[in-house]
Amino acid sequence: METKALKAKAVQVRMDLLRMIHGAKTGHTGGSLSNTDILTALYYRVMNIDSQNPKWADRDRFIASKGHSVESLWCILADLGFFPKEELKTFSQFGTRLIGHPNNKVPGIEMNTGALGHGLAISVGMALAAKRDGRNYRVFCLMGDGEQAEGSVWEAAMAGAHYKLDNLIGIIDRNRLQISGSTEDVMGLEPLEEKWSSFGWHVVSIDGNDMDTLVKTFEAIPFVLDQPTLIMANTVKGKGVSFAENVPHWHHHVPSDAELEKALAELSATLELFKQEGQVR
Ligand SMILES: Cc1ncc(C[n+]2csc(CCOP(=O)(O)OP(=O)(O)O)c2C)c(N)n1
Ligand SMILES: [Mg+2]
């Protein structure tokens, strides 16, 4: 998909996930809005995947290590045909497979996540398996910045560099907030880029809500032979909804009827702007 269309798609995903969270009366709104652009770039442009053959052996793997913000992922997988779009209405309802965290009973989900700190270790294993099997697939692992406080992340980081996994891409959704406030107040992370570099990763710091930059960066992978890549995606939690941006309680705030209406109006206006600029046919 062209970058212009990707931008519009990301707006549509945001609208879908807000409606879904509002309908279910539960969800992780802020983190899903912050990672929407990253996921849109990966799923509609960068990753080699096939919704009709989700277990294809050479598919690129995506691990949502920050599993709580699964809503953008559910909306994208449905839109791509991994499962029927109708099913989004069952999100978080009793008996559904579209639960509040990634569930590998759903086509397109590689691993159950939600307990933070485990996705990168699994990703290291998958990337190592690709090398040993002589396969060319890549493994993309999306982590939260609050998640960086988990010690297991750093064990996996060491292993990724040790095994020279240049087919492994860690992405940090660096929105500077975690569940209860600023990451730097809860558990100081800085200097985070230097930490990843010193663990042997090639670090690239970008605007993680800018589609042009995301596409350009993902398409330049691998940056260095024999070295894993860490993309520090500087994002805004709640991105796209003015009154949710950078507001900690939107981590799992469910929009009221009025808030949903206002948010959808803002996002529709953004789409309209794209149309006027000729970005959407
Ligand atoms: C091991 C573990 N501890 C605590 C939690 C509860 N929890 C869910 S989301 C969250 C905050 C995560 O913040 P961050 O990684 O920055 O995610 P984002 O800001 O992208 O939502 C926490 C502590 C969890 N899911 N797993
Ligand atoms: Mg965060």
How remote is the CA of residue 116 from the centroid of ligand 1, in Å?
A: 6
Residue 4, burial from CB neighbour count under 10 angstroms (0-12, 13-18, 19+): middle
Closest residue to atom 18 of ligand 1, CA basis: 31
Compute the average pLDDT of residues 13-42.
98
CA gap 208, 173 in Å, rounded: 7
26 Cα to the center of ligand 1, angstroms: 16
pLDDT 10s digits, 172-184: 999 999 999 999 9
Tokens describing residue 29: 């709104």
Cβ(119) – ligand 1 distance below 6 Å: no
Helix ranges (H only) for 25-150 are 29-41, 71-79, 119-133
- CB-based contacts of 281: which residues, under 8 Å, 6+ apart? none
Residue owning the nearest CA to atom 7 of ligand 1: 179
Ranges of beta strands (E only) in the chain are 61-64, 139-144, 168-174, 177-178, 181-182, 202-207, 229-234
Whether residue 181 has its Cβ less than 6 Å from ligand 1? no
178 within ligand 1 shell (Cβ under 6 A) = yes
Ligand 1: residue of 116, 175, 237 to mutate (most ligand atoms within 8 A of CB) is 116
237 lines ligand 1 (CB under 6 A): yes
Cis peptide before 191 (omega within 30 of 0): yes
- Ligand whose nearest atom lies closest to the CA of 66: 1
**Residue 256 reports pLDDT greater than 80:** yes
Residue 277 has pLDDT above 90, yes or no: no
Where does the pLDDT of residue 276 fall: very low under 50, low under 70, confident under 90, or very high at 90 and above? confident
Provide the mean pLDDT of the chain. Answer: 97
Ligand 2 centroid, distance to 185 Cα (angstroms): 12
pLDDT band for position 280 (50/70/90)? Answer: low
pLDDT exceeds 80 at position 272: yes
Q: What is the mean pLDDT of residues 213-219?
A: 98
Q: What integer pLDDT is reported at residue 164 of this predicted model?
A: 98
Q: Ligand 1 centroid vs 121 CA: distance in angstroms?
A: 17
d(CA 175, CA 165): 26
**What's the mean pLDDT in 129-134?**
98
Q: Is the CB of 66 under 6 A from ligand 1?
A: yes
The predicted-structure confidence for 139-178, as pLDDT tens digits, reads as follows 999 999 999 999 999 999 999 999 999 999 999 999 999 9
Ligand 1 atom with least separation from CA of 175: 19
- State whether the beta carbon of 71 lies less than 6 angstroms from ligand 1: no
pLDDT band at residue 274, thresholds of 50, 70 and 90? confident
Nearest CA to ligand 1 atom 17: 144
Residue 275 has what pLDDT?
A: 77
3-276 is classed CATH 3.40.50.720: no
pLDDT of residue 87: 98
**Res 281 pLDDT > 70:** no
Q: Rounded to an integer, what distance in angstroms lies between the CA atom of residue 138 and that of residue 48?
A: 9
